[in-house]
Amino acid sequence: MKAKISLLNFTRVFCSMRNADQNTKPYSEVPTVSVPKFILRNLPGGKYYKKSLKEIQESFYNEFGNIFKLPAMFGKSEMIFIYKADDFETAIRAEGIWPVRISLDTLKYYRDLKHPKVYEQTMDQIGKRQGQL
């Protein structure tokens, strides 16, 4: 739950910082797609069916622009996609001094469950800990 709150706070702060620009929208207006529509687009006959990740990302960019919000689904928190380098820099700086970044589930599973002994000495160096160290 902490990671979800942090992600939301991060994106709200990010959008607030960018509000100095006239073209920036508040967080609530970040373009998104509904969960049912996203699922339908991944089924046979849908827009993303059998597409590569690159093609799906290009489709997101073409349809939604520089910033896009993928809604929370299947127990995971929502994700923000940023395609413009300047916006990415602003987002990273907006996280504050102790950022909380969500790790990839597959990498976490591999490190924690499959090969914990291999990584036990280097866990802090490769991002196991979050927030204040």
pLDDT digit string, tens, across residues 102-118: 767 777 788 788 877 87
User: In the chain, pLDDT over 70 holds for what percent of residues?
Assistant: 66
Average pLDDT over residues 67-96: 82
If we measure between CA atoms, which residue out of 94, 132, 101, 129 comes closest to residue 6?
A: 101
> Do 57 and 111 belong together in one domain?
no
Q: What total number of domains does the chain contain? A: 2
**pLDDT tens digits for range 25-37:** 577 888 899 999 9
Report pLDDT for 46: 92
Residues 89 and 121 grouped into a single domain: no
Residue 132 confidence (pLDDT): 54
Mean pLDDT, rounded, for 65-74: 88
**Cα distance between residue 41 and residue 34, in whole Å:** 11
List the alpha helices (DSSP H) in the chain. Answer: 2-18, 35-42, 53-64, 85-94, 105-109, 116-119
Does the pLDDT value for residue 18 go beyond 60?
Answer: no
What is the pLDDT at residue 5?
A: 42
Q: Are residues 16 and 32 in the same domain?
A: yes
**pLDDT score of 131:** 57
**Of 17-26, 30-39, 86-95, which range is least confident?**
17-26
Q: Clarify whether residues 55 and 117 are in a common domain.
A: no
Owning domain of residue 92: 2-102
